[in-house]
Structure 1
């Protein structure tokens, strides 16, 4: 898979470790966001860029890391069509994909250690969306999003 991996300066070190780990799993990684730990970068634009790349089929999935992972999840989720899930454990990461078809996983570098983060990432990348009853629920979410966009006068 082609995986987008983005961070702000707060999670720069974690991003570097995860890039190596994900490549070691056999995936291609596209690096987004902070290119060093000294230059402050705002996480919303990183999340928007990655989410838009998902929508444009440039990426299969993405992982976003910042201090807590919360801001990245909120920002990525503002892009129509994107389902972002904040996960700090393997069960949630598995369910993000299997129950919600989340294209984006977010984590907080100040919340989870790198070894645990690697396990969360591996579970997320190894999980597939099976459809079934979950597909109906995901479709309800997407339909409501389209309804909101239509009410706002936005063509999506």
Structure 2
């Protein structure tokens, strides 16, 4: 069973709980990086950074980070080397980000994404595979060089 990391702060807590159930229905194993309870004073980096590190290290296959808008989660996740996170609100970007850019962490806005839309986006993200065409590999190589300080 593939492990999918998931996290959310208070702004995405309700959606995270819904998506965890959805992942189990799809025969995936959700690994919850928090929050474990609704706390309006929590901070998304406390959950997103451990999730992003787990995705980058291969402890989980892919990740889903949720905050109120998804913006903060995306900014935090992309600070971790090896993470290619995107805030996604449409079906095309959810699969194209994986196919062309090897996106490995999906960010969602818990206050702006409905349950049905979130399930559609998560499905598109998880069902997509990196194509690995030469142009894609070349572009990812340039990003990797930047991460490595070259």
Q: Which runs of 4+ in 1 moved over 4 A?
A: none
Q: Which residue of 1 aligns with 2:142?
A: 140
SS class of match (1:9): coil
**How many residues in Structure 1 have an aligned counterpart in Structure 2?**
148
Larger CA deviation: 40-49 vs 100-109? 40-49
Larger CA deviation: 59-68 vs 36-45? 36-45
> In 2, Cα distance between the equivalents of 1:74 and 1:39?
20
State the Cα distance separating 1:39 from its structure 2 match: 5.0
Matches within 5 A, 1:94-133: 94-132=95-133, 133=135
Q: Which residue of 2 aligns with 1:154?
A: none
> In 2, Cα distance between the equivalents of 1:84 and 1:99?
13
In structure 2, list runs of 5 or more residues that go unmatched.
Answer: none
State the Cα distance separating 1:54 from its structure 2 match: 1.4
Tell me if the contact between 1:87 and 1:107 (Cα under 8 Å) persists in the aligned partners.
yes
Q: What RMSD, in angstroms, separates the aligned Cα atoms of the two structures?
A: 1.1
In structure 1, list runs of 5 or more residues that go unmatched.
Answer: 149-156
State the Cα distance separating 1:87 from its structure 2 match: 0.3
- So what's the TM-score if we normalise by structure 2? 0.94
